[in-house]
């Protein structure tokens, strides 16, 4: 469940809020010598100011493939290539784009909650299997199931808190 929470945090970080953040490009995959690699592994991403990103490739020959990958990705930014680095200017969010991003964040939040519930379901099935094998008593299974439900509720609340924070970030102009 902790891994799921981390995954939700990482997914939220890739949704832009109007401020420049290197995490926006975390999910970008670049075709590099025939195999897909993450952008972070072949370039340095920095934020020279609050409204732009600077991508400096370690290998200058990968510049055009990085540019293509950013253009094809779902980040919604247009790369500007000057031959040495790629600059990405982040425009202020429109009201319409904010609504789209809120829907996307809500979907990511729901996916996180579903993943946590699936973990709970799998754990309860494992408890019931142990009960059938006579390794756990019925009372133990009930106690373990109740504590698993409590843990699940805690993690769902944590995902909700992350969602509320991201929602606040997106609605702040």
How does pLDDT run across 97-124, given as a tens digit for each residue?
888 888 988 999 999 999 999 999 999 9
Which one is predicted more confidently, 12 or 68?
A: 68
The pLDDT of residue 73: 82
> Does residue 15 carry a pLDDT above 80?
no
Pairing mode, strands 52-57 and 35-38: unpaired
Q: How far, CA to CA in Å, does 26 sit from each of 45, 55, 95, 98, 129? A: 10, 12, 25, 20, 40
Q: Strand, helix or coil at 17? A: coil
Give the per-residue pLDDT at 111.
93
pLDDT band at 173 (very low <50, low <70, confident <90, very high): low
What percent of the chain clears pLDDT 90, i.e. is strictly above it?
A: 32
Secondary structure letter of residue 87 according to DSSP:
E
Nearest CA among 33, 88, 24, 19 for reference residue 56: 88
Report the C-alpha gap between 91 and 136 in whole angstroms.
59
Least confident piece of the model among 35-49, 81-95, 152-166: 81-95
Q: How far apart are CA 148 and CA 152, in angstroms?
A: 6
pLDDT tens track for 25-44: 888 889 888 899 998 899 99
Q: Tokens 């790369």 identify what position?
A: 79
Determine the pLDDT at residue 116. Answer: 93
- Span 158-170, mean pLDDT? 90
Of the pLDDT bands very low, low, confident and very high (cuts 50, 70, 90), residue 16 is low
Span between the terminal Cα atoms of the chain, in Å = 33
How many whole angstroms separate alpha carbon 107 and alpha carbon 87? 30
* Contact predicate 13/23, CB 8 Å: yes
Structure tokens at 63: 């510049």
pLDDT of 83: 85
Q: Where are the beta strands (DSSP E) in 16-106?
A: 29-32, 35-38, 43-49, 52-57, 79-81, 86-89
C-alpha 32/C-alpha 24 separation (Å) is 20
């Amino acid at each position: 469940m902790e891994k799921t929470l981390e995954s939700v945090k990482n997914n939220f970080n890739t949704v832009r809020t109007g401020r420049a953040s290197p995490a926006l490009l975390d999910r970008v995959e670049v075709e590099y010598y025939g195999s897909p690699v993450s952008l972070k592994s072949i370039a340095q991403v920095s934020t020279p100011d609050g409204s732009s990103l600077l991508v400096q490739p370690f290998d200058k020959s990968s510049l055009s493939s990085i540019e293509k990958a950013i253009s094809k990705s779902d980040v919604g930014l247009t790369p500007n290539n000057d031959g040495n680095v790629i600059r990405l200017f982040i425009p202020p969010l429109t009201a319409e784009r904010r609504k789209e991003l809120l829907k996307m964040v809500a979907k990511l939040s729901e996916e996180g909650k579903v993943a946590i519930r699936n973990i709970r379901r799998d754990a309860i099935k494992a408890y019931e299997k142990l009960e059938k094998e006579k390794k756990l008593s019925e009372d133990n299974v009930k106690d373990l199931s109740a504590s698993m439900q409590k843990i699940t509720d805690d993690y769902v609340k944590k995902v909700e808190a992350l969602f509320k924070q991201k929602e606040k970030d997106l609605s702040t102009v």
